[in-house]
């Protein structure tokens, strides 16, 4: 049995912040049905991000704006434990699949909307993409870093979408637990803005004034003389994390500057923070005398935490890493158009109810007939819906690349 | 207190971000959390974020290396629904508080572990500081910066990803327990956190087309969204967006005085790289002549999403008014921290409308609730002094 076996989630989302959460819930064993416009999810044109948030789902392509399409949607909603989407303000209401519409057919449903900004407020009417929220919550500011005179830097991992989606996963599962223990469903929401803010949760004010946090240097090496990248003689880098007092002493010894450990300018972590530039000007030339691997072997012996950064070549080496394969961190499947594919695998391991990655990202409407059959539509009705362009399933003229 | 997770009892042995923040998300939906700290307290107490990561819970100090401390912890675990720990694989077993030991006594217990690397990984016994995982996983190499080579990520991405996986696993196991009656061991890691944030850019496919690989690929200098960051007159920056979900009134280029050029950013994104490279410098000049506040106001009035680039401290109101939408989302909170005093922190980011979450209180002092929690188990003050290590501290003093 899987942890969420028997849980049905209807996913009306598109792009990233909507679909990502349902995929994670699907990995935990839920039955996830992606309801896709017959014109395709807007993200299909950007293949990698699309693939990154759609695996394991079954897909019905449905025109929600038609009366018969709406009837199909209601049949889906009746069978849902969780309904999930990232529609912008007013859209779900117009399509008559808002929480109130769901309640009429399914009284104890968990209903989640992942917004860009939020449910109500001055900017709630706007949709928007991840970069806006990296800007609004200090992520680009810190990554520049702007306080050192650099331009802001966008982080290409698109994490605020994922953060929004993961907040929705935690929220949906908390609501589902509450529903299982009390019988009561409810509506919930999360947002890209709040997701971004949670990533920067260590920012705080005391008496309305910012509390100083360690910040990145102009060269983007690190946030402390003992917690940063140093360039090595081979032109590469080594990351050190000499966090504890014992690490500091061991580092001075291993790098051939034992006197530094007794230097009062650097005697404590606080002193090393105060005299960061001075210390870095001593350590930088020292690190530049040997290769990263030489340092790393020496540091391992000396008990100084360090790591030579790996270039994984767009992540592909991670997907062919023997440890990752053996530990289930890589998933493999065949896609009808893309052939054999690999993605990251299990994100959470369960000792008794293992996760279940059901298969590759679906094609537009790949499971339309199967799902309509499950909703008790007859073969004749299904053909009729297709004839009226209410539903779609792939044919020889399939226009999308994935 | 009334939340979705009312009645769920959590023992939090974690240090750092991933465990503590993961637990926070549960605590503020109603779970009753006790943070178990070593004598002297969680070693991360001096970090700026500690006051936020560890709020909404009580604290007890227990010396797990003493038999009396171990026994007290086991008694707490007998009555718990969830235990969370973030030590290296094997550490809790050596302390006698591993999954097997606790689950044998309390079969309904959900036991969540989040080390840096999964048990069995070649680096599992290595130190697991966030930046080391950034380095070993390739995340630092994947981020383009202002120079070539790996870039240190000031945002600790492995940790701030795993912090979502911890409560996700716990909640899935709690839901499953409603059917099976049994708890289980739920494991994730900072390395699995890395995977969470690379899902949009790391795929390997057999028949990859050029489109598949090029869009969103790493570039130097930084590309794609970086192109929509513009400096304005004051030297501050704004980030514009190619879509807002609304129908634009005047186009963005029109608003910055570049009439006759590509009419909107969506169209701009369809231009070839060469065309964009010719056009972007003209935009940069036009933005640099504009007042940022006026520009943001005009953009929004014309249905374009745009955000000034600010620090998170400023988003909370550190130099002017806080971000208006964060305020509307109840995400700017005042918390009386016992050490720092009056603080402004993020609020509760998951908005359950039927059972609203809430901050349950400030970060506790280490051992603040020793008497209440250990006294509640029937221990005498003398026994509590042994369990918490206070007797030794007294001798040292």
Q: Identify which of A161, A323, A341 has the shortest CB distance to residue B203.
A: A341
- pLDDT given at position B266: 63
List of chain A residues whose C-beta atoms are within 8 Å of the C-beta of residue B1: none
List, for residues A113-144, the tens digit of each pLDDT value: 999 999 999 999 999 999 999 999 999 999 99
- pLDDT given at position B219: 80
Mean per-residue pLDDT, B131-154? 96
Cβ atoms within 10 Å, residue B221: 10
In B185-244, the residues whose Cβ lies within 8 Å of chain A are: 185-188, 191-192, 195-209, 211-213, 215-218, 222, 224-226, 228-229, 231, 237-239, 241-244
Scanning every residue of chain B, which has its alpha carbon at the shortest distance from the alpha carbon of A176? B175
Q: Is A103 helix (H, G, I), strand (E, B) or coil?
A: helix
Task: Judge if the upstream peptide bond of residue A145 is cis by omega within 30 degrees of 0.
Answer: yes
List, for residues A268-301, the tens digit of each pLDDT value: 999 999 999 999 999 999 999 999 999 999 999 9
Percentage of chain A with pLDDT > 70? 100
- pLDDT given at position B220: 80
pTM: 0.97
Token output for A379: 């073969």
pLDDT higher than threshold 60 for residue B397: no
Mutate to test the interface with B, among A29, A81, A131 (most CBs of B within 10 A): A131
| B290 alpha carbon, distance to own chain's centre | 35
Cα–Cα dist B219/B19, whole Å: 34
Q: Is B140 helix (H, G, I), strand (E, B) or coil?
A: helix
List of chain B residues whose C-beta atoms are within 8 Å of the C-beta of residue A129: 225, 241-243, 305
- pLDDT given at position A49: 86
Give me the residues paired with residue B237 across strands: B231
Give me the residues paired with residue A34 across strands: A11, A59
Q: Which of B308, B257, B284, B33 is nearest to B166 (CA)?
A: B33
List, for residues B149-187, the tens digit of each pLDDT value: 999 999 999 999 999 999 999 999 999 999 999 999 999
List, for residues B17-43, the tens digit of each pLDDT value: 999 999 999 999 999 999 999 999 999
Per the CB < 8 A criterion, the answer to whether A299 and A246 are in contact is: no
Between B23 and A51, residue with greater pLDDT: B23
Q: Tell if the CB–CB gap between A190 and B169 is shorter than 8 Å.
A: no
Mean per-residue pLDDT, A361-375? 98
**Cβ-based burial of A392 (10 A; exposed 0-12, middle 13-18, buried ≥19):** buried
Chain B: give the shortest CA distance to residue A34, in Å: 18
DSSP 8-state code for residue A290 = S
List, for residues A203-259, the tens digit of each pLDDT value: 999 999 999 999 999 999 999 999 999 999 999 999 999 999 999 999 999 999 999
Confidence category of residue A386, pLDDT binned at 50, 70, 90: very high
In A80-99, the residues whose Cβ lies within 8 Å of chain B are: 88-89
Mean per-residue pLDDT, B307-332? 98
- pLDDT given at position B81: 98
* ipTM computed for the complex: 0.98
A207-211, B214-218, B356-360: least confident range = B214-218
pLDDT higher than threshold 70 for residue A264: yes
Q: Which positions ≥6 away from B288 have C-beta within 8 Å?
A: B230, B231, B232, B233
User: Look-up: residue for tokens 């000031």?
Assistant: B154
Confidence category of residue A48, pLDDT binned at 50, 70, 90: confident
Query: Residue B233: which H helix or E strand, with range?
Result: none
Q: Is A270 in CB contact (< 8 Å) with chain B?
A: no
Token output for A294: 């030489």
Mutate to test the interface with B, among A183, A195, A197, A231 (most CBs of B within 10 A): A197
Mean per-residue pLDDT, A342-365? 95
Cα–Cα dist B177/B220, whole Å: 49
Between B53 and B272, residue with greater pLDDT: B53
Chain A: give the shortest CA distance to residue B256, in Å: 19
Q: Is A307 in CB contact (< 8 Å) with chain B?
A: yes
Chain A: give the shortest CA distance to residue B8, in Å: 10
- pLDDT given at position B216: 67
Cα–Cα dist A170/A179, whole Å: 14
Give me Rg for the CA atoms of chain A.
Answer: 26
List of chain A residues whose C-beta atoms are within 8 Å of the C-beta of residue B313: 138, 203-205, 210-211
In B310-329, the residues whose Cβ lies within 8 Å of chain A are: 310-319, 323-329
Mean per-residue pLDDT, B217-246? 90
Chain B: give the shortest CA distance to residue A40, in Å: 17
pLDDT higher than threshold 50 for residue A28: yes
Q: Identify which of A167, A329, A340 has the shortest CB distance to residue B349.
A: A167
Angle of the A292-302 helix axis to the A245-254 helix axis, nearest 10: 130
pLDDT higher than threshold 70 for residue B282: yes
Per the CB < 8 A criterion, the answer to whether A238 and A295 are in contact is: yes
Give the total residue count for chain B. 397
Q: Identify which of A125, A137, A207 has the shortest CB distance to residue B342.
A: A207
pLDDT higher than threshold 50 for residue B1: no
Per the CB < 8 A criterion, the answer to whether A35 and A359 are in contact is: no
- Residue A93, φ and ψ in degrees, nearest 5: -65, -45
Q: Which positions ≥6 away from A117 have C-beta within 8 Å?
A: A123, A124, A126, A128, A191, A192, A193, B325, B329
Q: Which positions ≥6 away from A247 have C-beta within 8 Å?
A: A226, A241, A303, A304, A305
pLDDT higher than threshold 80 for residue B210: no
- Residue A341, φ and ψ in degrees, nearest 5: -135, 155
- pLDDT given at position A41: 95
Q: Which positions ≥6 away from A313 have C-beta within 8 Å?
A: none
Q: Is A136 in CB contact (< 8 Å) with chain B?
A: yes
Q: Is A138 in CB contact (< 8 Å) with chain B?
A: yes
List, for residues A139-161, the tens digit of each pLDDT value: 999 999 999 999 999 999 999 99
Token output for A215: 């910040």
CA atoms within 13 A on the CB side of A246: 4
Between B213 and A362, residue with greater pLDDT: A362
List, for residues B82-99, the tens digit of each pLDDT value: 999 999 999 999 999 999
Mean per-residue pLDDT, A21-37? 98
Token output for B253: 């280029």
pLDDT higher than threshold 90 for residue B63: yes
H helix runs in A87-221, sequence order: 91-94, 99-105, 130-136, 139-143, 159-182, 192-199
Per the CB < 8 A criterion, the answer to whether B257 and B286 are in contact is: yes
Per the CB < 8 A criterion, the answer to whether A292 and A232 are in contact is: yes
Positive or negative torsion for Cα A218, A224, A225, A226? negative
Instruction: State in Å, rounded, how far the first CA of chain B is from the last one.
Output: 40
Q: Which positions ≥6 away from B121 have C-beta within 8 Å?
A: A323, A327, B189, B191
pLDDT averaged over every residue in chain A: 96
**Cβ-based burial of B122 (10 A; exposed 0-12, middle 13-18, buried ≥19):** exposed
Per the CB < 8 A criterion, the answer to whether A140 and A130 are in contact is: no
One-letter-per-residue 3-state SS of B330-385: CCEEEEEECCCEEEEEECCCCEECCCCCCCCCCCCCCCCCHHHHHHHCCCCHHHHH
Give me Rg for the CA atoms of chain B.
Answer: 25
Query: Residue A223: which H helix or E strand, with range?
Result: strand A222-224
């Amino acid at each position: 049995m899987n942890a969420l076996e028997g849980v049905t989630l209807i996913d009306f989302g598109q792009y990233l912040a909507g679909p990502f959460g349902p995929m994670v819930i699907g990995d935990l064993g839920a039955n996830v049905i992606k309801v896709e416009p017959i014109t395709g999810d807007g993200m299909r044109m950007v293949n990698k991000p699309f693939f990154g948030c759609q695996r394991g789902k079954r897909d019905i392509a449905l025109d929600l704006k038609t009366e018969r399409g709406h009837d199909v949607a209601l049949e889906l909603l009746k069978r849902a434990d969780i309904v999930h989407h990232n529609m912008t303000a007013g859209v779900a209401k117009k399509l008559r699949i808002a929480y109130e519409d769901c309640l009429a057919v399914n009284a104890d449903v968990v209903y989640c909307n992942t917004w860009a900004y939020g449910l109500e407020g001055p900017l709630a009417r706007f949709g928007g993409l991840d970069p806006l929220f990296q800007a609004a919550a200090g992520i680009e500011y810190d990554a520049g870093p702007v306080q050192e005179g650099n331009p802001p830097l966008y982080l290409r991992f698109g994490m605020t979408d994922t953060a929004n989606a993961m907040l929705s996963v935690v929220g949906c599962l908390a609501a589902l637990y509450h529903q299982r223990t009390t019988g009561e469903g409810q509506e919930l929401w999360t947002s890209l803005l709040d997701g971004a803010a949670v990533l920067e949760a260590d920012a705080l004010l005391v008496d309305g004034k910012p509390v100083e946090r360690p910040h990145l240097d102009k060269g983007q090496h690190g946030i402390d003389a003992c917690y940063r990248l140093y360039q090595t003689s081979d032109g590469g880098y080594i990351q050190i994390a000499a966090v504890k007092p014992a690490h500091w002493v061991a580092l001075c010894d291993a790098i051939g500057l034992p006197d530094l450990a007794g230097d009062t300018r650097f005697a404590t972590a606080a002193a090393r923070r105060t005299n960061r530039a001075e210390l870095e000007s001593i350590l930088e030339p020292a690190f530049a005398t040997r290769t990263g691997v030489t340092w790393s072997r020496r540091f391992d012996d000396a008990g100084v935490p360090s790591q030579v950064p790996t270039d994984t070549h767009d992540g592909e080496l991670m997907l062919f890493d023997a440890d990752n394969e053996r530990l289930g961190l890589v998933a493999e499947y065949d896609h009808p158009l893309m052939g054999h594919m690999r993605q990251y695998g299990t994100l959470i391991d369960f000792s008794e109810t293992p996760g279940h990655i059901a298969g590759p990202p679906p094609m537009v409407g790949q499971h339309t007939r199967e799902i309509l059959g499950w909703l008790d539509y007859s073969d004749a009705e299904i053909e009729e819906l297709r004839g009226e362009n209410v539903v779609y399933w792939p044919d020889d003229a399939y226009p999308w690349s994935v | 207190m009334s939340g979705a997770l009312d009645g769920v009892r959590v023992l939090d042995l974690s240090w750092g971000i991933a465990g503590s923040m993961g637990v926070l998300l549960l605590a503020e939906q109603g779970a009753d959390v006790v943070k178990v700290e070593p004598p002297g307290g969680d070693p991360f107490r001096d970090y700026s974020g500690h006051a936020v990561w560890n709020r909404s819970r009580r604290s007890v100090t227990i010396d797990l290396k003493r038999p009396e401390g171990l026994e007290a912890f086991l008694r707490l675990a007998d009555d718990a629904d969830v235990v969370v720990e973030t030590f290296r694989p094997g550490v809790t077993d050596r302390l006698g508080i591993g999954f097997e030991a606790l689950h044998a006594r309390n079969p309904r217990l959900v036991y969540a572990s989040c080390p840096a690397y999964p048990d069995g990984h070649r680096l599992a016994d290595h130190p697991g500081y966030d930046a080391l995982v950034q380095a070993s996983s390739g995340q630092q190499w994947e981020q383009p910066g202002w120079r070539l080579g790996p870039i240190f990520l000031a945002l600790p991405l492995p940790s701030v990803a795993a912090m979502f996986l911890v409560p996700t696993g716990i909640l899935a196991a709690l839901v499953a327990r409603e059917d099976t009656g049994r708890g289980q061991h739920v494991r994730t890691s900072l390395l699995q956190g890395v995977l969470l944030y690379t899902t949009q850019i790391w795929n390997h496919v057999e028949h990859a087309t050029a489109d598949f690989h090029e869009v969103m690929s790493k570039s130097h200098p930084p590309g794609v969204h970086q192109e929509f960051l513009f400096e304005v007159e004051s030297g501050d920056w704004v980030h514009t967006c190619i879509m807002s979900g609304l129908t634009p009134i005047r186009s963005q280029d029109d608003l910055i005085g570049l009439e006759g050029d590509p009419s909107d950013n969506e169209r701009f994104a369809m231009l070839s790289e060469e065309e964009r490279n010719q056009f972007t410098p003209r935009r940069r000049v036009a933005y640099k002549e504009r007042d940022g506040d006026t520009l943001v106001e005009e953009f929004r009035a014309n249905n374009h999403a745009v955000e000034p680039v600010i620090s998170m401290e400023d988003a909370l109101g550190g130099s002017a008014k806080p971000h208006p939408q964060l305020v509307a989302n109840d995400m700017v909170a005042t918390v009386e921290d016992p050490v720092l005093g009056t603080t402004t922190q993020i609020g509760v980011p998951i908005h359950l409308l039927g059972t609203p979450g809430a901050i349950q209180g400030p970060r506790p002092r280490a051992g603040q609730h020793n008497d209440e929690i250990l006294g509640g188990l029937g221990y005498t003050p003398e026994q509590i002094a042994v369990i918490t290590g206070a007797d030794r501290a007294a001798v040292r003093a």
